[in-house]
Amino acid sequence: MANNLTTEKKTLAVSMLAEGNSIRAIERMTGIHRDTIMRLGVRTGAACAQILDEKMRGLSCKQIEVDEIWGFIGAKRKNAGQAGAYGDVWTFIALDADTKLIPSYVVGKRDAYHAKAFMDDLAGRVNNRVQISSDALAAYTNAVEYGFGTNADYGQIVKTYSVTPLGNAAASVRYSPAEVVKVEKNIVSGTPDVDRISTSHVEKQNHTLRMHCRRLTRLTNAFSKKLENFEAAVALNFAYYNFCKTHGAVRCTPAMAAGVEKSQWTVAELVERCGE
């Protein structure tokens, strides 16, 4: 059982999960049974979600970029009904462009309900007026007003992509992002700094998330079968990113850069704080 693992074994397994290793790969390298790794990951992830909820309060973020990243649970949307699966799942992510901190995230569907829940959660974590940048997802306009009222300056970056017929296109074309042919910056509300309307930093975070969270790695069979497991994996990743991982741009952890923590956490400390 996971509770019988030594602290060193737990730390090793959690470190490997947070660095993008699959459960079966960790099993082969550590000798820990995959079911034990799974239970440890779910428990640790749930505890990480609580830690993030408690720590990400009273923030002084100034430039927030938001975006959504796609994944699926059990089966993709077209097969979800037949398979009785959750289907497509989207993770809304907020990132402080200055400190690289992730103050808020919400897992759910890419709809107005979850967009409002996301913005409401984000608004409850910052103390000051913020500038928010997003893509052109229509749900964001009402969501920002719902969460922040008039206490935010909001702009959208609208990208127009080229259309390439897939047909018998090679994989390098089918699975590569389309070419951006036009970019517009629109002021939606307030007085945002147009030069800082951008989603570049949070889009880079999406790449980091796919590299470090195996359940979001594309074109693999490492997807989640349960929503609970997916939520735990995402929470573990964000806790590891905020508190344990040094960010090259700020040369410390995002939590340190934002003044949330005074020092960098080790993975062993994260595991201990999670009650393991």
Supply the pLDDT for residue 166.
57
CA distance 11 to 5: 10
Supply the pLDDT for residue 148.
97
Report the range of poorest mean pLDDT among 30-44, 127-141, 160-174, 224-238. Answer: 160-174
The reported pTM is 0.90
75: which strand partners?
A: 73
Q: What is the span of the domain harbouring residue 187?
A: 2-273
The DSSP annotation for 144-174 comes to HHHHHTTSEEEEEEEEEE-----TT--HHHH
Q: Is 187 exposed, middle or buried (0-12, 13-18, 19+ CB in 10 A)?
A: middle
- pLDDT, tens only, 158-214: 988 777 665 655 555 566 667 788 889 999 999 999 999 999 999 999 999 999 998
What is the CB-side half-sphere exposure of residue 182 using CA atoms within 13 A?
5
Residue 2 DSSP SS3: helix
CATH number at residue 132: 3.30.420.10
Q: Which of 224, 238, 236 is nearest to 71 (CA)?
A: 224
- pLDDT, tens only, 72-112: 998 787 878 776 778 899 999 999 999 999 999 999 999 99
- Count of domains for the chain: 1
CA distance 57 to 66: 18
Residue 61 DSSP SS3: coil
Pairing of strands 152-161, 130-134: parallel
Q: Which of 15, 13, 17 is nearest to 216 (CA)?
A: 17
